[in-house]
Structure 1
């Protein structure tokens, strides 16, 4: 690793994500290697050149790169000042499995502003580490869009609004406000694909499932606060990660902290 390089890596509590990596490499160049996971890469500073299966490719800040499992690739900076990148490593059975490796080898870069923005948003959620349902929701939409690229389908085909599916998901969220429910478990109970669940719910109720659940948790926290329970206890009872997590969402939704809410 070159001088001045910084790396941060962790495994989040999100099914399907093997590892998250944030790195700054002023001079480091990767030798040829492989991963046993799908590699979803965005560059925040600089530009990267790499060989994938003996063919040269380049990745700039406006693009998203998807490197398939088990295919050799290397990596090096195009510019003398190096590059800064963020990476998601997804389990090999995601994105339709290994039968789409050939498509990723043929076309590993995509100019797709919406996809890149969604990946950027997911990294923020994963770095925060406390919004599990939001991370699951964002990941399933990213995987859906990557799958569309791999299958050469039209990007973002219109979905049919499904009020029944949305209502079933809302009932599940209402029944699991403090403990929450994973998108994968909800999809099994409703018998709908996770991406369809997120889209149907968002169309029907004007917000994604994770935002709805957060609102319900804030409502529950208000009831506990008005009952006179201490804020730290309320955070746990209402399903928040900790008191700081409660404070952030409470203020975002109501404009005041829990303490100010109780005093009022």
Structure 2
């Protein structure tokens, strides 16, 4: 029998409310998605697989996996006993503030014993109810910054296509209708969107809806209202896609923001 494991979302009071995800023996893969934050993951068991920019990157236990803000990735959870990992979501502003105003760039898989130990310590404190200090977080960021890549960072090109899709995220998505509106074939629309975003048009729209919904959930907007405002048919449709992209239910995501 397949056991889906558990995923717990937490919010910390320091530094504008850092958040974290603790997954234990988790077996549901994540659909293509992105975050507005840096995602710093400590792999604790199994072979962690992250598909980024068309490449599958693997990490063994104690390695760190990093995705950058707005970077499309798919986490593949296919280990027989599930995956256990701890993820910290860090605002780009926190890193830039520690890095002379420059947004850092990292390798997607890091083997930094100091940073791994610090993240393990933060995770342990969160699990045992001990206070996590801003000093611990700053120490982790500074340790990670020693690993940053010193190369030009490609700035995402928000083309007319993604602008058009962004404007329609609260409306029912129909590929043929979107193709007609943009004056190109459905096939070309899919190809251009994947080249621009790494996603199909529908995947892009759903990801943007989930990002918008997270802002409303943090504000305490009722889940059914969030679903309808963000273009989902109903709360069940919203619930299904939210969990597929985040590993959490909307209610689980919202809970730390209501306390």
Q: Distance in 2 between matches of 1:129 and 1:140?
A: 20
Map 1:8-47; keep pairs closer than 5 Å: 8-47=8-47
Tell me, yes or no, if structure 1 residue 100 matches structure 2 residue 92.
Answer: no
What RMSD, in angstroms, separates the aligned Cα atoms of the two structures?
2.3
Judge conservation of contact 2:50–2:74 (CA < 8 Å) in 1.
yes
Q: Normalized against structure 2, the TM-score is what?
A: 0.51
Q: Normalized against structure 1, the TM-score is what?
A: 0.50
Offset at residue 17 of structure 1 (A): 4.8
Q: Distance in 1 between matches of 2:134 and 2:128?
A: 14
**Which ranges of structure 1 fall in alignment gaps of 5 or more residues?**
153-264
Q: Give the SS at the match of 1:94.
A: helix
Q: Distance in 1 between matches of 2:13 and 2:149?
A: 28
What is the aligned partner in structure 2 of residue 142 from structure 1? 140
Q: Distance in 1 between matches of 2:16 and 2:41?
A: 16
Q: Distance in 1 between matches of 2:130 and 2:59?
A: 31
What is the aligned partner in structure 1 of residue 56 from structure 2? 56
Higher relative contact order (Cα pairs below 8 Å, separated by 6+ residues): 2
Judge conservation of contact 2:4–2:28 (CA < 8 Å) in 1.
no
Judge conservation of contact 2:29–2:78 (CA < 8 Å) in 1.
no
Q: Distance in 2 between matches of 1:62 and 1:68?
A: 20
Judge conservation of contact 2:125–2:131 (CA < 8 Å) in 1.
yes
Task: Render the CA deviation track for 1:26-76: whole Å, top value 9, x for unaligned.
Answer: 431111100111111011111211111222211211311121110100111
Offset at residue 3 of structure 1 (A): 4.0
What is the aligned partner in structure 1 of residue 77 from structure 2? 77
Q: Distance in 2 between matches of 1:4 and 1:66?
A: 24
Q: How many residues align?
A: 146
Judge conservation of contact 1:47–1:79 (CA < 8 Å) in 2.
yes
Look at both structures and tell me which one has the larger radius of gyration over its CA atoms: 1
What is the aligned partner in structure 2 of residue 242 from structure 1? none
Moved over 6 A (4+): none
